[in-house]
Amino acid sequence: MSDPDERNDPPRPFMEHLCALRDSVLGMAASWVLCVIVAGVFSPQINKWIFGPAETCAGISMARPISCPKCNRPYAVSEKVNYCLDCGALLNPEAKDKPVPRKATCAYCEAKYVEPDIPNFCGVCGREIPRDPGAKGAEAGNGGEDAKQAQHEPVRHVSIEGLDLTSGFDAIIMIALWGGTALSFPFLMFYLLKFVFPALTRREKNSILFCLGAGTAFFAVGAWMAYAKTLPVVVKVFLSFADWVNLPVYTVKADGYIRIVLKTILAFGIALQLPLLVFVLGWIGVISSSTLRHYRRLAIVVIFFLGMVLTPPDPMSQILMALPMVFLYELCIWLIKLREMATGRGSA
């Protein structure tokens, strides 16, 4: 059985090492440029994915809200309304395919009406005409009133739009650079390890591969936490702050929103690498579990400070980042303690 600490790289001339380094650097550069181009080509799809956290918040639309040309009542794109519920005007008169007019019948005198001339009250008997086709009038419980109130409930319409002439180009550049760098990471590590691995022992190679695999998994978990759990809360909190100071936001700059999303995802992914670094240092004996326990309070303060600096300025984002890091810090203490007990370092 071969020694795991044996080096299998024979001595080579200095120029051969320089040539290998040149090939690795050129391969890394070419991979990065190619991935940046690919990310730029698919920037519309990536941009739609970036808008996902905002779409999960109620009342936020990626398109400009529809307004009635007659009474200016706004409608969300998701409402699927052809005619205005207040005045009956056609919402999109320039549409090529005209919608089929909806019909309504008075539940009492059976007077018939056709859009856009459906009134709120019957012109024959004066009774209210239910706007909900399934309602049977005011006697059918309070369904007519509920439907009427539901139609007039205020809906928050917020659109994410490009407000500058260069907004689209700026979005493509940001997505290409950030997305291309993330996409090229496996290729960058391949060329780097291709240059470094011949000089390492088998034990060192296995350790590096383990750290890379664990680091990639932790980064993916952090990115998922930022995208699925944190960013919807961030959007909602910022809108609430704006409403609280009587500055309601109805239009959000696309480049600013994209920048917040990318920075938050990157911050969460990098933050979850810190517990892995602590674990590796403890595993190889640089720090001990007793040291980690001794500085636990200070570590928790530092973790919450990093959460405050790396996340958008709202307390929920800070907490959502800090709590998993505190849990992983405690897990590192126990894993390093088990390692010390297995190797006998803990009794020294």
Q: Does 348 fall in a domain?
A: no
DSSP letters of 140-163? STTHHHHHHHHHTS----EEEE--
Are 320 and 180 in the same domain? Answer: yes
Are 177 and 291 in the same domain? Answer: yes
Instruction: Point out the domain boundary residue: 99, 134, 156.
Output: 156
Q: Which domain holds residue 218?
A: 14-54+165-343
Q: Does 59 fall in a domain?
A: no
Q: Does 5 fall in a domain?
A: no
Are 284 and 147 in the same domain? Answer: no
Question: With 0-12 CB in 10 A as exposed, 13-18 as middle and 19+ as buried, what is 282?
Answer: buried
pLDDT band at 81 (very low <50, low <70, confident <90, very high): low
Are 127 and 91 in the same domain? Answer: yes
The CA distances from residue 115 to 84, 87, 263, in Å, are: 10, 10, 49
Are 183 and 148 in the same domain? Answer: no
Partners of 61 in the beta sheet? 159
Instruction: Point out the domain boundary residue: 100, 128, 156.
Output: 156
pLDDT band at 8 (very low <50, low <70, confident <90, very high): low
pLDDT in tens, 241-279: 888 888 877 778 888 888 888 888 888 888 888 888 888
- CA angle, corner 217, sides to 213 and 222, nearest 5? 145
Q: Does 3 fall in a domain?
A: no
Are 197 and 50 in the same domain? Answer: yes
Cis before residue 275, ω within 30 degrees of 0? no
Are 322 and 227 in the same domain? Answer: yes
Q: What is the DSSP letter of 127?
A: P
Instruction: Point out the domain boundary residue: 103, 132, 156.
Output: 156
Are 336 and 248 in the same domain? Answer: yes
Strands 158-161 and 60-61: parallel
Are 123 and 254 in the same domain? Answer: no
Q: Does 40 fall in a domain?
A: yes
Amino acid at 130: P
The dihedral sign for the CA sequence 84, 86, 88, 93:
negative
- Tokens standing for residue 13: 């001339």
Rounded to an integer, what distance in angstroms lies between the CA atom of residue 249 and that of residue 246? 9
Q: Does 9 fall in a domain?
A: no
Are 288 and 233 in the same domain? Answer: yes
Q: Does 305 fall in a domain?
A: yes
Helix/strand/coil for 64: coil
207 vs 136, higher pLDDT: 207
Res. 64: pLDDT tops 70: no
Is the pTM value of this prediction over 0.75? no
pLDDT band at 150 (very low <50, low <70, confident <90, very high): very low
Res. 4: pLDDT tops 70: no
What is the pLDDT at residue 312?
73
- CA angle, corner 258, sides to 254 and 263, nearest 5? 150
Res. 198: pLDDT tops 90: no
Are 148 and 243 in the same domain? Answer: no
Q: Which run of H or of E encompasses 112? A: strand 112-114
Percent above pLDDT 90 for the chain:
7
Q: Among the ranges 75-89, 127-141, 202-216, which has the highest mean pLDDT value?
A: 202-216
Q: Does 272 fall in a domain?
A: yes
Are 47 and 136 in the same domain? Answer: no
Over residues 104-122, the mean pLDDT reads 69
Lowest mean pLDDT among 196-205, 230-239, 302-311: 196-205
What is the pLDDT at residue 96?
46
* Total domains, the chain: 2
Over residues 53-62, the mean pLDDT reads 62
